């Protein structure tokens, strides 16, 4: 009996040791980063990738071709926060069915609970040779803050490490940057802890001048890529003329409506692919992958603006954007001296944004309206700051001035 118990104890100990070893391996696996990269065989290479969410650019003007600096900065700064980032690497000149040769995801905010603002750098490891052929050019699909959309639902059941290029090209999101059934904007502030969706698709990156044998060496050969937000923001500013005979002392905006069938029911997560040679000069990348989309049949109904919140000024015309005024100087002036209303973050559209502003000159008076159109110039409005300035002149006439400004500038000023 003693010999039997001794044997049983030994077997139990061995089984316990085996279970402990398995648990250790499981723990190691669960703590590893979520890379799908080259094994450490001596054939791997490293790249240092630097991403910016708000870089300076020379972009197309909103009203006249001679307006130069036409981009605006993040305001609040949370509009440029990176909470998480995903990077897919493809061999260049591969088709829609190609799988990534490397994949990496990272969560900068996991370190101290705070996101990275504006710029983020990560190292990427991959095999130097694919099927015996040395890798020369790569394509990158980069996505920050995917958790702020329902992209995961659209890709449910797919492994992000082996997802095809076609899957990334066609993936969309239809929540939450849209319009509710009641006609309200779903997103009126940057999603807390998630940020705004920010992405880019860059092709034909020649890696000869950037690749290195170690992470440290790769830092001196970094690749810099500007990212763009997959949504835009819309807001309004109002002013009225002062003076005893101005007839604007009691004016108020009763409501603002954006027409139905303006915003598509879904937007693409990634803009169109762009060649690396020209992408750096085009930091306002957009998407033309529309086909024939369906549109939200509900109009966007925005709040009115009470008289006390309509800025009284001596000359409302002075708050139109000057012909030589940069976009950022203009927005600094408007935010400081006039104040905005009805900030909304919305999915992009390939249609002009049309709507009406309803107002009264006095309580109990008749409700008047003034229509407006923010043209899209044939391009989907992604990563743009859309501003409508309404001003009441003497006699109470409402005039409107619009701006479309790429939402890219990075500066220390707020």
Q: Return the CA Rg of the chain.
A: 27
String of DSSP letters for 252-286: EEEEEEEPSS-SBS-EESS---EEHHHHTT--S--
Looking at every residue in the chain, the average pLDDT score rounds to 84
- Using the predicted structure, report yes or no on whether residue 16 has a pLDDT greater than 50: no
pLDDT at residue 381, rounded to an integer: 76
What percent of the chain lies above the pLDDT cut of 70?
80
Q: For 213-262, write each residue's pLDDT tens digit.
A: 999 999 999 999 989 999 999 999 999 999 888 899 999 999 999 999 99
pLDDT at residue 54, rounded to an integer: 62
Helices (H), 309-411: 327-337
Cα–Cα distance for residue pair 71/57, rounded to 1 Å? 7
- Confidence band for 37, pLDDT divided at 50, 70 and 90: low
Cα three-residue angle 114-119-125, rounded to 5 degrees: 100
pLDDT at residue 71, rounded to an integer: 83
pLDDT at residue 413, rounded to an integer: 28
Q: What are 298's two structure tokens?
A: 């509900």
Cα–Cα distance for residue pair 215/320, rounded to 1 Å? 50
Q: For 320-349, write each residue's pLDDT tens digit.
A: 999 899 999 999 999 999 999 999 999 988
- Using the predicted structure, report yes or no on whether residue 372 has a pLDDT greater than 70: yes
pLDDT at residue 31, rounded to an integer: 25
pLDDT at residue 384, rounded to an integer: 87
Helices (H), 311-397: 327-337
- Residue 372 CA to its chain's centroid (Å): 26
pLDDT at residue 350, rounded to an integer: 84
Q: Note the pTM of the prediction, 2 decimals.
A: 0.85
List CB contacts of 399: < 8 A, sequence separation 6 or more. Answer: 316, 370, 390, 391, 392, 393
Cα–Cα distance for residue pair 108/248, rounded to 1 Å? 51
- Using the predicted structure, report yes or no on whether residue 108 has a pLDDT greater than 50: yes
3-state secondary structure of 411: coil
Q: What is the DSSP letter of 409?
A: B
Say which residue, 262 or 65, is predicted with more confidence.
262
Residue 345's CB is within 10 A of a number of other CB atoms, namely 23
Element (H, E) at 29: helix 2-31
- Confidence band for 291, pLDDT divided at 50, 70 and 90: low
Instruction: Find the range with the poorest average confidence among 31-40, 121-130, 254-263.
Output: 31-40
pLDDT at residue 367, rounded to an integer: 97
Mean predicted confidence (pLDDT) in 110-115: 82
- Decide: residue 306, CB within 10 A, 0-12 exposed, 13-18 middle, 19+ buried: exposed
């Amino acid at each position: 009996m003693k010999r039997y118990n001794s044997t049983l104890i030994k077997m139990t100990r061995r089984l316990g040791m085996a279970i402990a070893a398995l648990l250790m391996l499981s723990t190691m696996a669960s703590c590893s980063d979520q890379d799908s990269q080259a094994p450490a065989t001596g054939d791997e290479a490293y790249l240092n990738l630097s991403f910016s969410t708000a870089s300076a650019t020379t972009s197309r003007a909103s009203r006249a071709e001679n307006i130069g600096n036409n981009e605006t900065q993040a305001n609040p700064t949370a509009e440029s926060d990176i909470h998480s980032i995903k990077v897919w690497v493809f061999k260049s000149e591969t088709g829609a069915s190609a799988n990534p040769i490397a994949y990496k995801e990272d969560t900068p905010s996991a370190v101290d609970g705070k996101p990275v603002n504006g710029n983020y750098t990560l190292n990427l490891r991959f095999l130097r040779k694919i099927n015996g052929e040395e890798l020369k050019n790569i394509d990158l699909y980069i996505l920050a803050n995917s958790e702020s959309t329902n992209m995961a639902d659209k890709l449910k059941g797919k492994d992000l490490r082996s997802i095809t290029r076609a899957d990334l090209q066609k993936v969309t999101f239809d929540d939450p940057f849209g319009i509710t059934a009641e006609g309200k904007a779903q997103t009126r502030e940057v999603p807390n802890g998630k940020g705004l969706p920010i992405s880019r698709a860059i092709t034909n990156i020649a890696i000869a001048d950037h690749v290195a044998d170690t992470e440290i060496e790769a830092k001196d050969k970094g690749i810099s890529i500007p990212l763009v937000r997959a949504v835009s923001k819309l807001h309004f500013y109002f002013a009225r003329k002062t003076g005893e005979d101005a007839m604007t002392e009691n004016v108020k905006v009763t409501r603002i409506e954006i027409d139905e069938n303006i915003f598509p029911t879904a937007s693409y997560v990634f803009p169109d692919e762009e060649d690396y040679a020209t992408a750096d000069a085009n930091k306002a990348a957009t998407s033309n992958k529309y086909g024939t989309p369906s549109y939200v049949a509900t109009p966007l109904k925005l709040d009115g603006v009470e008289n006390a919140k309509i800025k009284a000024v001596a000359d409302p015309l002075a708050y139109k954007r000057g012909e030589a005024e940069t976009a950022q100087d203009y927005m600094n002036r408007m935010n400081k001296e006039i104040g905005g209303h009805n900030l909304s973050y919305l999915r992009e559209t390939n249609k002009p944004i049309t709507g009406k502003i309803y107002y009264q000159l006095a309580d109990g008076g008749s409700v008047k309206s003034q229509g407006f159109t923010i043209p899209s110039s044939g391009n989907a409005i992604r990563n743009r700051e859309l501003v409508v300035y309404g001003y009441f002149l003497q006699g109470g006439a409402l005039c409107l001035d619009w701006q479309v400004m790429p939402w890219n500038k990075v500066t220390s000023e707020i």
